[in-house]
Amino acid sequence: MHNVHIDHSENIIKERMSKIKNKIVVISNKGGVGKSTISVLISLALSKKGYKVGILDSDIHGPSVAKMMGIEGIPLQVKDENNVEPILKEGIKIVSMGSIVPETDKALIWRGPIKMTVIKQFLSDFEWGDLDYLIIDLPPGTGDEPLSICQYIKEISGAVVVTTAQKISMLDVSKAIDFLNKLNIKIYSVIENMSEFVCPHCRKASKLFYSKEDVYQKLNGLKVIKIPFYSDVMEKLDEGKSFSAFENREELLNKILSIFD
Ligand SMILES: Nc1ncnc2c1ncn2[C@@H]1O[C@H](COP(=O)(O)OP(=O)(O)OP(=O)(O)O)[C@@H](O)[C@H]1O
Ligand SMILES: [Mg+2]
Rounded to whole angstroms, how far apart are CA atoms 171 and 99?
34
Cβ(64) to ligand 1 under 6 A?
Answer: yes
| Centroid of ligand 1 to alpha carbon of 216 (angstroms) | 22
Cα dihedral angle (70, 71, 73, 75), rounded to 10 degrees?
Answer: 160
Cβ count within 10 A of residue 81: 8
For ligand 1, atom 29, the nearest C-alpha belongs to: 234
The whole-angstrom distance between residue 57's C-alpha and the CA centroid of its chain comes to 6
Q: Which atom of ligand 1 is nearest to the CA of 228?
A: 1
231: Cβ–Cβ under 8 A, 6 or more apart, which residues?
197, 200
142: Cβ–Cβ under 8 A, 6 or more apart, which residues?
27, 29, 175, 176, 178, 179
Q: Report the candidate in 231, 229, 224 with the shortest Cα–Cα distance to residue 209.
A: 229
Evaluate the CA torsion angle 153, 154, 160, 161 in order and state its sign. positive
What is the per-residue pLDDT for 97? 78
What is the per-residue pLDDT for 102? 59
Cβ(28) to ligand 1 under 6 A?
Answer: yes
Q: Report the candidate in 88, 248, 220, 117 with the shortest Cα–Cα distance to residue 161.
A: 220
Q: Where are the alpha helices (DSSP H) in the chain?
A: 9-17, 35-48, 65-68, 112-124, 144-153, 167-182, 231-238, 250-258
Cβ(233) to ligand 1 under 6 A?
Answer: yes
Cβ(54) to ligand 1 under 6 A?
Answer: no
What is the per-residue pLDDT for 145? 84
Q: Report the candidate in 256, 254, 252 with the shortest Cα–Cα distance to residue 231.
A: 252
| Centroid of ligand 1 to alpha carbon of 149 (angstroms) | 21
- Looking at the DSSP bridge assignments, the partners of residue 80 are 83
Q: Report the candidate in 25, 91, 86, 34 with the shortest Cα–Cα distance to residue 62.
A: 34
Q: Which atom of ligand 1 is nearest to the CA of 68?
A: 31
Per-residue confidence in pLDDT tens, the chain, 261 aa: 455 555 678 899 999 999 999 999 999 988 889 999 999 999 999 999 999 999 999 887 777 899 999 998 788 888 877 788 999 999 999 998 776 665 556 666 666 677 788 888 889 999 999 999 999 999 888 888 899 899 999 889 999 999 887 766 667 788 899 999 999 999 999 999 998 887 778 878 887 766 555 566 667 788 999 999 998 999 999 999 999 999 989 999 999 999 999
* Angle value at C-alpha 137, between 133 and 140, nearest 5 degrees: 155
Q: Report the candidate in 28, 9, 27 with the shortest Cα–Cα distance to residue 17.
A: 9
Domains of the chain by range and CATH? 9-258 (3.40.50.300)
For ligand 1, atom 25, the nearest C-alpha belongs to: 31
| Centroid of ligand 1 to alpha carbon of 31 (angstroms) | 9
Cβ(37) to ligand 1 under 6 A?
Answer: yes
What is the per-residue pLDDT for 103? 58
What is the per-residue pLDDT for 63? 78
